[in-house]
Structure 1
């Protein structure tokens, strides 16, 4: 039976991947920083390694007997005074070195769409530096570059909850975000695929205006969308990168950049943004009362 190690298994995507692997009959080992974040089911069905991926000593031997590593390790929000290079690059490199020592056959790394084209952004400098290490490692590998997650699109839903969505430009730029469960299926499929680099997005390509309208539709309210001149987006990004540290501006630099370009990848999955937003609405205090 194939043994798969999942790094980042308590994160949004990593948790979906671990469960997808278990449902398909793989032996699953998870590397987590804090095992208290695991559910009783996960503790019962996964082999658990508690380690700090930024500390190579804590990972010693983690890949012994492992056939495939899937890493979703990366900073989504700055914390603990760590940089993108500390986590997206070095922590993944620590895992890669353990994979080499342990005789792992394949290393699957989840990056982000257009990373190879956006290396001027701090987050992608780190991610793509690791991709270069992975390609040179001698291991079988697959780099998966997904579009934005549905969970990222929750920000638009929360703006709609407050009565108005603000978009840069005219709102006609397109994207096809993907649900974590669909992406998890795709990542697990990559274990037996021969592809070395894959781009993937969700099943629907939508304009930013359409995404905002779907949020209002899920709430049952009239769409109220304000378009902010795109030069404001560029100016904000310039001010942040000039006057703040990369630890502060990194997430904003990424968000503001991708909001100003089309983000479309090959379509996969069947979960829709409308269903996701309806689920968020069902969880609001108003709908629960």
Structure 2
């Protein structure tokens, strides 16, 4: 395989770390953006580090020089320094895109989330999809991936199950197909290096109801099946109260999660890693 040159933004996140590992496994050159020197220890096999903050354009100067492809999963989820979704998810990625255009890279890939284009009224998607619009208007080839929930997000079910009960809103029959970071990384890289503009939703191989996920989580702890179904108006009330009494940074992720709980979230199936195995491994590690 021809060695290609990649810049990974969001490399310290759940998906970003799998992207770096898979790119190096395939023998490519990898440059990653980090915010602090100490983040270098998160990686064992990276060709170049570039210390920068995407919200500060001057720190990004020449970051895309000699780069063929850019992957970005930049988002505000873990940042707590007073920045908004518009500051990071939109403007931060826009600053990176400007450098990509300046360096005339081949293709830019951006990670939003499932149905982001249908839920622009949610704070977390408003900024993400505004950047998607910018990317599509740019002169570069693009890849926009909207993954279903990550296996790591499903730990909420597992953590509840550890205490012997799982609480769900409504009937628990809404379906989803969460995906493992390793599978998603392979999918993203395949789409990034294709010659076409890509826009896809993707999930894991198993389409499961929330009840089925709750049962898998309880079984992983060897617990009896106890699932408590809460009236859906509680979910709606929580969203309303959070919007009134907390900042968008606090309610954004919760609003997103609670909104998507009240519908089917089924994307194209991909990969071979199964949620049942993930739950069993996580529970086993927790006991050791």
Q: Same fold (TM over 0.5)?
A: yes
User: C-alpha offsets along residues 239-277 of structure 1, whole Å, 9 cap, x if unaligned?
Assistant: 211333212211111111011111110000000101111
Give the corresponding residue for 1:228: 230
What is the CA deviation profile of residues 191-219 of structure 1, one whole-angstrom value per residue up to 9, with x for unaligned ones?
Answer: 23224201100000000000000001111
Aligned-pair CA distance for 1:2: 1.4
- 1:200 pairs with 2:195: no
Q: Identify the residue that residue 94 of structure 1 maps to in structure 2.
A: 95
**After superposition, where does 1:158-173 map in structure 2 within 5 Å?**
158-173=159-174
1-structure distance, mates of 2:46, 2:31: 9
- Structure 1 283/22 Cα, relative in aligned 2: closer, same or farther at 3 Å? same
The match for 2:144 is 143
In the TM superposition, residue 39 of structure 1 has moved relative to its aligned partner by 3.5
Q: Give CA-to-partner distance per residue, 1:141-162, whole Å, 9 cap, x none.
A: 0100100100000011000012
Cross-structure match for 1:116:
117
Aligned to 1:3: 5
8 A contact 1:78–1:248 mirrored in 2: no
Cα distance in 2 for residues equivalent to 1:91 and 1:114? 22
In the alignment, the residues of structure 1 paired with residue 79 and residue 227 of structure 2 have an alpha-carbon distance, to the nearest angstrom, of 29
Residue 64 of structure 1 corresponds to 65
Contact 1:77 1:251 in 2 (8 A): no
In 1, Cα distance between equivalents of 2:101 and 2:36: 25
- What is the aligned length? 285
Gaps of 5+ in 1: none
Pairwise mapping of residues 9-158 of structure 1 onto structure 2 (< 5 A)? 9-39=11-41, 42=44, 44-77=45-78, 79-158=80-159
Q: Give secondary structure in 1 for the equivalent of 2:66.
A: coil
User: Does residue 179 of the first structure (1) align with residue 184 of the second (2)?
Assistant: no
Deviation at 1:4, TM superposition (A): 0.6
8 A Cα contact 1:204 1:272, kept in partner = yes
Q: CA deviation at 1:105?
A: 1.0
Shift of the alpha carbon at 1:52? 1.1
Q: Look up the SS of the partner of 2:133 in the other structure.
A: helix
Secondary structure, aligned partner of 1:236: helix
Cα RMSD (Å) = 1.3
Question: C-alpha offsets along residues 136-189 of structure 1, whole Å, 9 cap, x if unaligned?
Answer: 111000100100100000011000012211100000000000000000000111
- Alpha-carbon distance between aligned partners in 2 of 1:14 and 1:252, rounded to the nearest angstrom: 22
Tell me which residue corresponds to 1:248: 250
Helix, strand or coil at the partner of 2:269: coil
What does the per-residue CA deviation read over 1:13-53, in whole Å, with 9 as the maximum and x for residues that have no partner? Answer: 001001101111111111111242233753x5321111111
Residue equivalent to 1:270: 272
Deviation of the 1:89 alpha carbon: 0.5
Q: State the secondary structure of the residue aligned to 2:204.
A: coil
Q: Distance in 2 between matches of 1:48 and 1:41?
A: 10
Deviation, 1:129, is: 0.2
Contact 1:78 1:247 in 2 (8 A): no
2:108 match: secondary structure: strand
Cα distance in 1 between the residues matched to 2:256 and 2:66:
37
TM-score, normalising length: structure 2: 0.96
Residues in 1 aligned to 2:97 and 2:61: alpha-carbon distance in whole angstroms: 12
Instruction: Report the CA distance between 1:108 and its aligned residue.
Output: 0.5
Flag structure 2 segments of 5+ consecutive residues without an equivalent.
none
Q: Measure the CA separation in 2 of the matches of 1:111 and 1:238.
A: 24
